[in-house]
Amino acid sequence: MNTPRLREEHLRFIRYLLAGGWNTFFGMLSYAVLYRLLGHRIHYLVLLIPANILAVTNAFLCYRYFVFRSRGSILREYFRCYVVYGGMIFVNAALMYILVDWINLTPILANCACIAVTTVVSFFAHRNFSFRPPL
């Protein structure tokens, strides 16, 4: 059964994957640049903070205008994105700690591995929370 609503959900998911590809590249590049520039002076976990601010802002813009095509309150949705990604940064930091300090991966490679986990969880959180249409 191919209803218009189901078709739109498929298109939204495809747009999410496209935006996610860009967001992943942007987030990884942001972290890598910060780590290369400041990693010798600032702890790799502290560098997650500015990298995530840049990445969340980029993701918010992509999700709002390209994926979910939202017309809701910009400030409310931006705040909700931070709530979702706030949870994700703790997951990312914990996984990175394990991968870097216990398994001895480099911080950049560990960050890449963490992205797979946070991508899946964040799609559902954004769809059902950040960009949920008002009731």
Instruction: For the chain, give every domain's residue range.
Output: 4-130
CB atoms within 10 A of CB 40: 7
How confident is the model at residue 1, as a pLDDT? 55
With a CB cutoff of 8 Å and minimum separation 6, the contacts of 91 are 114, 117, 118, 121
pTM of the predicted model as reported, rounded to 2 decimal places: 0.70
Task: Determine the Cα–Cα distance for residues 8 and 127; give it in Å rounded to an integer.
Answer: 13
* Residues 88/70, Cβ–Cβ less than 8 Å: no
The type of residue at 31 is Y
Give the pLDDT confidence of 45-98 residue by residue, as tens digits.
999 889 988 988 999 999 999 999 888 889 999 999 989 988 887 888 898 999
107 or 52, higher pLDDT: 107
- CB distance 62 to 23 below 8 Å: yes
Pairwise CA distance, residues 94 & 117, whole Å: 12
Q: What number of other Cβ atoms are within 10 A of residue 51's Cβ?
A: 23
Place of tokens 């987030």: 27
- Within 10 angstroms of residue 122's Cβ, the number of other Cβ atoms is 23
For 16-28, the DSSP string reads HHHHHHHHHHHHH
Whether the pLDDT of residue 102 is over 90: the answer is yes
Please give the biggest Cα pair distance in the chain: 57
At 1-41, the pLDDT tens digits run 568 888 888 898 899 889 988 988 999 999 999 999 999 99
